[in-house]
Amino acid sequence: MHFWSQFVLVGTLLVTGIGLWEAGLGWFEYQLGFTATIEQMRSVAVIHAAAATLAIVIWIVHVYAAIWVRGTLSAMTRGSVTGGWGWRHHRKWLKKEVAAATSSGPRRRRRSKRTRHPCRSPARQRRDVLRPGPREEMRLSRRGPG
């Protein structure tokens, strides 16, 4: 949502900015074959100012949200997130990544009953595959969570 709103607002700023610029306005008038009135130029100035204000507000909210949500800055700088972060914020993506990692990964030999960890039952081990702990990290795919 942030990307598309900024995309539209920057496009609006570009078009209205060219319209406010005297050389750009002359080019618009020549290309489109009309002469802009003072009321139209005032309207363009109001639209330009509103688009700029809205773009700045969206950017501030986006940066605030990135700082406020724990784990987001480290995800942006390191390229990985913890399993707990993925479970909380992008559950569908995490399940898809875990399923892909377990199905395409190397086959492991099944441990005998003697080598299993005494505190881990098979049911708990299966649950841990579906829901990684808070310290396990998942590498982000090319598309990322979403």
pLDDT at 97 over 70: yes
46-64 pLDDT per residue, tens = 999 999 999 999 999 988 8
pTM of the model: 0.55
What's the token pair of residue 28?
Answer: 């618009």
For the segment 7-39, what is each residue's pLDDT rounded down to a tens digit? 999 999 999 998 888 888 888 888 888 888 889
Q: How far apart are CA 110 and CA 146, in angstroms?
A: 34
Average pLDDT over residues 71-87: 83
Give the CA diameter of the chain: 87
Measured over the CA atoms of residue 76, residue 79, residue 85 and residue 91, the dihedral's sign is positive
